[in-house]
């Protein structure tokens, strides 16, 4: 068992609730995962931007972009909990190897359709649905796999670094995608995404299973899903967090729809500007992830305050008609959004027992991403009817009210626990 050594004489000891920002990178298996994900995440963001912009070009409709998101995230709502059962029953690394290959093939198909000139909205819709089914299996395994790669004390740090990794790619991927789409077409963005999966597959293959944290496996047989839901029902803190995640995920994370409308209708720009707007939000997202990585503890009050700050920023963004000010607002909104996401993710994982963590995290992602179809359709309809600024303001008000309501519920839960 690895011992923690006391700081040298004269050195300043770290604060009790803080940990070194990049502590998890000292773990070999996690370091391999981090490097592979850094490459693969760039490709993922390139495909997201290319896919959303392609649908907007083909239809000119924010609602059509919303339908694409609904098809991609809808399977999570229907099948997401079963993905958690598989993550608790089988080795997460094997599941991830299979899902990475599946996502690679979807990217290859999109690239082939684009290069041959046979791309259509129906083709994009179909592949978005297929990718959504694969993601349903991928996300619970990916999230619970973090607790296999690093010890519990480093779990909040690793979750936050994962978020920073994803959002650092959000900084470079959209910008590169915008330039590629403008110069060569969307097909090249899809092709590079397909190639990027090789890095993640290589990282997973190079890991040492003997160094994984040991976690019990759920046995075969009926009742595994019911057991996971029963576990959540018995933990009110998880329930309050999931309620807040529902409102933030449903109403706060619809930027692909809103930013396409801002780009084409308000700032009259092209795909390059769309990529820049996404990159500006990514700047704040990376800062938010680095701040979250230093937190060893996540309190309910801090989580709810961050959600309220995110809601306030959405309202402010909806009031900014100037491009420069809007970009600055996107940085702050990205910081608040990713800080909330990283804290909510790590708090649920730490609250859940390792034996049911896959099922609990599948429920987390059903709430966070499975509700995206509902939110994307609402945001798309508001955008087409009253405009993108109205969609931002309505979303911000809902998120802020949800944060206030969950803060009150959290106080009641703690009082009951104290009694």
pLDDT tens-digit map of 205-259: 999 998 888 776 666 655 667 777 788 888 888 889 999 999 998 888 888 778 8
According to DSSP, residue 353 is labeled -
Q: Radius of gyration over alpha carbons of the chain, in Å?
A: 21
> Mapping DSSP to helix (H, G, I), strand (E, B) and coil, where does residue 217 land?
coil
Question: Residue 37 has what pLDDT?
Answer: 92
Query: Which two tokens mark 188?
Result: 């090249």
Evaluate whether 127 touches 109 at the Cβ level (below 8 Å).
yes
Question: Residue 82 has what pLDDT?
Answer: 80
What's the pTM?
0.69
Please give the backbone phi and psi of residue 294, each rounded to the nearest 5 degrees, phi first: -85, -10
Closest CA to 81 of 358, 416, 324, 274: 358
Question: Which position has the token pair 């370091």?
Answer: 31
b vs e for 95-120, b when ≥16 Cβ sit within 10 Å of the residue's Cβ? bbeebbebbbebbbbbbbbbeeeebe
pLDDT tens-digit map of 249-260: 888 888 877 888
Question: Residue 218 has what pLDDT?
Answer: 64
pLDDT tens-digit map of 321-331: 888 899 999 99
| pLDDT at residue 2 is higher than 70 | no
Closest CA to 257 of 403, 394, 133, 419: 394
d(CA 94, CA 87): 10
Closest CA to 161 of 14, 278, 38: 38
Question: Residue 80 has what pLDDT?
Answer: 74
Of residues 363 and 305, more confidence is placed in 305
| pLDDT at residue 292 is higher than 80 | no
β-sheet bridge partners, residue 295: 18
């Amino acid at each position: 068992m690895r011992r923690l050594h006391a700081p040298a004489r004269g050195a300043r000891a770290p604060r009790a609730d803080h940990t070194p920002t990049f502590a998890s990178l000292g773990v070999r298996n996690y370091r391999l995962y981090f490097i592979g994900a850094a490459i693969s995440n760039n490709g993922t963001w390139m495909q997201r931007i290319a896919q959303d912009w392609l649908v907007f070009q083909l239809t000119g409709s924010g609602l059509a972009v919303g339908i694409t998101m609904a098809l991609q995230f809808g399977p999570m709502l229907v099948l997401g909990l079963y993905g958690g059962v598989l993550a608790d029953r089988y080795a997460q690394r094997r599941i991830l190897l299979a899902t990475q290959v599946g996502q690679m093939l979807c990217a290859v198909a999109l690239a082939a359709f684009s290069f041959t000139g046979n791309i259509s909205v129906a083709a994009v819709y179909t592949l978005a649905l297929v990718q959504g089914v694969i993601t349903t299996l991928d996300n619970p395994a990916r999230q619970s796999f973090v607790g296999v790669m690093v010890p519990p004390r480093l779990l909040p740090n690793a979750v936050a670094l994962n978020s920073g990794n994803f959002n650092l790619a959000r900084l470079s991927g959209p910008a590169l995608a915008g330039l590629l789409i403008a110069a060569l077409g969307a097909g090249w963005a899809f092709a590079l995404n397909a190639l990027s999966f090789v890095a993640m597959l290589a990282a997973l293959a190079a890991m040492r299973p003997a160094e994984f944290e040991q976690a019990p496996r759920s046995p075969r047989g009926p009742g595994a899903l019911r057991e996971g839901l029963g576990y959540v029902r018995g933990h009110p803190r998880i329930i309050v967090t999931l309620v807040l995640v529902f409102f933030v995920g449903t109403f706060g994370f619809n930027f692909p729809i809103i930013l396409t409308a801002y780009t084409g209708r308000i700032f009259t720009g092209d795909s390059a500007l769309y990529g820049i707007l996404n990159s500006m939000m990514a700047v704040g997202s990376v800062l938010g992830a680095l701040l979250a990585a230093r937190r060893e503890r996540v309190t309910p009050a801090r989580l709810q305050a961050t959600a309220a700050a995110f809601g306030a920023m959405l309202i402010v963004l909806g009031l900014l008609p100037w491009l420069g000010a809007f970009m600055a607002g996107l940085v702050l909104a990205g910081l608040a959004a990713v800080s909330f996401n990283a804290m909510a993710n790590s708090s649920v994982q730490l609250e859940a027992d390792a034996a049911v963590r896959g099922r609990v995290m599948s429920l987390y992602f059903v709430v966070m991403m499975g509700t995206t179809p509902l939110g994307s359709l609402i945001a798309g309809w508001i955008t087409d009817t009253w405009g993108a600024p109205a969609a931002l303001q309505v979303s911000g008000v809902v998120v802020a009210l949800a944060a206030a309501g969950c803060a009150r519920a959290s106080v009641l839960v703690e009082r009951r626990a104290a009694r």
